[in-house]
Amino acid sequence: MLTAEQFIQRFKDVKTLPYVVTELSRMIADDNATMKDFEDVIKMDPTLVARLLCLVNSAFYSLSQPITSIGRAVAFLGMRNLRSMAVTDALRNIFKERHNTGIFSRKRLWLHCAVVGICSKLLAERIFGINGDDAYLCGILHDFGKIVEEQIAKDDFLAACEACGPTDSLIAHERHFLGTDHCEIGYLLSCDWGMPSSIQNAIRDHHTLTDDATPGTLTSILQIAQYITGQMGYSSLPNVASPLSSPLELHLQENMDEYKVLIDDLPEEIAKAQDIYEN
């Protein structure tokens, strides 16, 4: 069995996030970084440039005049939104299916992460009234550890997936077969990528049930998003539920009217994201 650190090192020897993604995260944390600095980094990734300009000029924003410069596009979208786009674009390629592996599917996992990211952003902004960019990153990154496990110890990872029943914890099966779990791996990777500590902690704790969970934290938002999207059929493994901490169950019941509106809007938001990222 390998430690989480050994999984990460072996994965980095095979594939990791592109330089532009980690550099954008570093620059966002740097108060001295300028818009020109961001533009210089983005220019290194032609695919990201194309998607950036496509997004700002799409019907989603309905601008009266097209934006043709990287600098103006970055200024329009904002640096955090740009980082979310760069991460999503990079993950899309890493999640590509190589071949069918039974119960586990990279395509299903990608859809799960994308939908949880979208739902997390909506929860942050509509329910809790906070900026949703970090919540989106939590959602899109929270299960990345599973990709690492599947690439480095495929047979053991698939055995853990096969052993997981509807009410089981995948975490327990991962620890049995692999010696670690995707939450620990994802947490250490997010530290390595320079993500904010709140995102790191949410990735580490998104399956941890506690009696003192506080609605509105990134960890709680991520857990609620997993629960909602799982109920809608977007779980990462077929028929495997994502439970909620008790205080979050109570919060959901007390605010059900607001959540019903959000859930009704989710399919349209998912369709918008698919238009951007599946072309």
* 31-37 average pLDDT score: 82
Q: Is 180 left (phi over 0), alpha (psi -120 to 50) or beta?
A: beta
Q: What is the DSSP string of 129-158?
A: -S--HHHHHHHHHTTHHHHHHHHHSHHHHH
Q: What is the pLDDT of residue 255?
A: 96
Residue whose token pair is 């944390």: 29
| Chain centroid offset of residue 244 CA | 18
pTM of the model: 0.81
CA distance linking residue 191 with residue 173, whole number of Å: 24
- Dihedral of alpha carbons 82, 83, 88, 90, sign: positive
* 19-33 average pLDDT score: 77
101 bridge partner residues: 104
CA distance linking residue 237 with residue 109, whole number of Å: 8
Q: Which among 60, 26, 30 has a CA at the least distance from the CA of 271?
A: 60
Q: Which among 106, 73, 71 has a CA at the least distance from the CA of 91?
A: 106
Return the higher-pLDDT residue of 72 and 274: 72
18 has pLDDT over 70: no
43 has pLDDT over 90: no
Q: What is the pLDDT of residue 223?
A: 97
Residue 247 DSSP class? H
185 has pLDDT over 90: yes
Q: Which among 56, 32, 27 has a CA at the least distance from the CA of 44?
A: 27
Residue 101 DSSP class? B
Each residue's pLDDT tens digit, 94-150? 777 666 667 898 888 988 998 999 999 999 999 999 988 889 989 989 999 999 999
Each residue's pLDDT tens digit, 197-239? 999 999 999 999 999 999 999 999 999 999 999 999 999 998 7
Give the CATH class of 4-15+99-277.
Answer: mainly alpha
